[in-house]
Structure 1
Amino acid sequence: MSRTEYLTDAQWSLIEPLLPSSDGRRGRPFRDNRRVVEGIVYRYRAGIAWRDLPAEFGPWQTIWKRHRRYAGDGTWDRVMAALLAHADANGLVDWAVSVDSTICRAHQHAPTSRGTQGDLSNYTNLLAEPADHALGRSRGGLGTKIHQVSDGNGRPLVLLIGPGQAGDSPMFPILMQALSVPRVGPGRPRTRPDAVLGDKAYSSKSNRALLRSRGIEAVIAEPDDQRRNRLRRGSRGGRPVRFDADKYKGRNVVERSFAGIKQWRGLATRYDKLALTYRAGVLLSAVCAWLKHLAN
């Protein structure tokens, strides 16, 4: 395979039936769908401008428009859901999940942040562009956070983005709400993991109560200040939190998953003006990660 070919024939055969075959508005069939998808992958892997795509992928305008359409109509979300359903049916999903986030700096080509920064209610609708474009200014400058739920093997189950300065804990309920793996055949999607592993940033009474109400084991480290405050209050501070140190050792898989995402230069640094198209690129990297396990 050349450097401009990323997907194998077996991998392409899995996702080709899941992609739109025509423009639904005019019924005009899409041509060279595989070449276009390869062009989208190449752009994010190389971190180049759309105009600089090699000519062998065809007109860059076609590739950009197709990517914008797939980002806005939820195509990559549907592809991801179908692959997860296939993986779960074959017992490939480890339901001791890990949660974390990583920050990606925004290039000067990304827009300046507008709207109410840190208003996470903007992120419940995955197909709507948030008012702040998922950009926020933290100590390192303007950036975007990728929030992820990964399975016990470090493969993505949920990928959301948010502003760079926003905390991880407020995003936790939104991540849990977005976790839904369909069944192959009849049956409701699986939305409840066996356990959730998270670092101290996710330790809050509300997050622990959410997991407890759903019968999910919380393997979340307790910060020193929360522990001291609980001990200071005595019996009013409540019981010590349960914490399985051995299970917590598996939380690093989500860190390794982020390392894989950031091998794509167009994701390690955000060049996209729209949060929709940037998240679609992140989703595409997750689709490719699952294809490596589903189609050897």
Structure 2
Amino acid sequence: MSRTRSLSDAAWGRLEPLMPVAARVGGRPFQDHRRVVEGIIWRFRTGSPWRDLPAEFGPWQTAWKRHRRFSADGTWDRIQAELLAEADAVGGVDWAVSVDSTINRAYQHATNLPRDTGGSSSYKKLRIEPTDHAIGRSRGGLSTKIHHLIDGRGLPLVVLVGAGQAGDSPMFPVLMEHLRVARRGPGRPRSRPDRVRADKAYSSRAIRTHLRARGIIAVIPEPSDQRGHRARRGSRGGRPVSYDAKDYKGRNVVERSFNEDKQWRGIATRYDKLALTYRGGTVLRAITLWLKRLGDTP
């Protein structure tokens, strides 16, 4: 396989039927889907400017415009949803999920758009560009957070982006809201995992109440300040929080998931001005990982 080629023939065989035929009904059909998708993957894998796309992938404007379109119209999300449904149908999804976020530095070329820093700091609506472009100022400078809800084997089920200084806890209900894996056959999409593993940043009464109401096991340790606050309140503080410490060790898969993401340099550092296209790259990365999982599934 060429160094500029990322998808095997088997992987493309799964992906090709899921690609849109035309931009709209009655419109001109898309051409050279594989060449363009390979070019988009190459760009995010290497972190190169779009203008430096090798000629074998065709005009760089075509790759950019198609990625912009597929990020905004939900094409990448629909493809990931189809792969998730296929994986779940053959038992390829582990429903002991983990949640966490990672901060990625935003390159100077990604930060020169006007931003409304008083706007929404979380990318809650997948296909609407947030007013802050999911860029915020944290200790390391201007940055973006990637929020993952992953399965028990470390592959993304839901991917969102938000500003770098924003907290993790407010994004948890948004991640859970977007967790919907369709079933092959009758029945509603599955949206309730067996358990949720998370670190102390997600230890809030609201999150624990949400999980308890849905019958989901919370594997979330409690920080010392919350324990002390409850102890000071005495009987009014409620019961001590308990969790399965042995099962909590499985949360490391979310850290490994971020390591997989950051093998693509265009994700490890954000070069995209728009949150739409940056998140589109992270979803495309998730698609390539699920293609590998399905290739390993008997």
TM-score, structure 2 normalization = 0.97
Write out per-residue CA displacement over residues 129-153 of structure 1, whole angstroms, 9 at most, x where no aligned residue: 0010000001100000000001000
The answer for the alignment partner of 2:276 in structure 1 is 276
1:49 aligns with 49
Partner of 2:241: 241
Preserved contact between residue 120 and residue 130 of structure 2 (Cα < 8 Å): no
Q: Which amino acid aligns with 1:115?
A: D
- 1:32 corresponding residue in structure 2: 32
**Percent of residue pairs identical:** 67
Cα distance in 1 for partners of 2:38, 2:241 equals 48
Q: Which residue of 2 aligns with 1:128?
A: 128
Matched residues in 2 for 1:26 and 1:68: separation? 21
1:223 Cα deviation after fit = 0.3
Larger displacement relative to structure 2 (123-132 or 255-264): 123-132
1:101 aligns with 2:101: yes
Q: Which runs of 5+ in 1 are unaligned?
A: none
Distance 1:94 1:118, change over 3 A: farther
* Contact in 1 for aligned 2:99/2:147 (Cα 8 Å): yes
Matched to 2:283, the amino acid is L
Q: What RMSD over aligned residues (CA atoms) do the two structures have, in Å?
A: 1.2
> 1:18 deviation in Å?
1.0
Find the counterpart in structure 2 of residue 60 from structure 1. 60
Q: Which residue of 1 aligns with 2:120?
A: 119
Between the two proteins, the alignment pairs up a number of residues equal to 295
Alignment of 1:225-264 (within 5 A): 225-264=225-264
- Deviations along 1:157-189, one digit per CA (max 9) or x if unpaired, are 010000000000011110111111111122110
What per-residue deviation string (whole Å, max 9, x for no partner) do you get for residues 235-267 of structure 1? Answer: 011001121101100000000000000010000
- Which residue number in structure 2 is paired with residue 83 of structure 1? 83
How far, CA to CA, are the matches of 1:104 and 1:124 in structure 2?
19
Runs (4 or more) in structure 1 with deviation over 2 Å come to 116-120
Greater Cα offset, 216-225 or 24-33? 24-33
Paired residue secondary structure (1:226): helix
CA contact (8 A) 1:118 1:136 kept: no
Which residue matches 2:146? 146
TM-score by length of 1: 0.97
Counterpart CA distance in 1 for 2:62 and 2:36 is 8
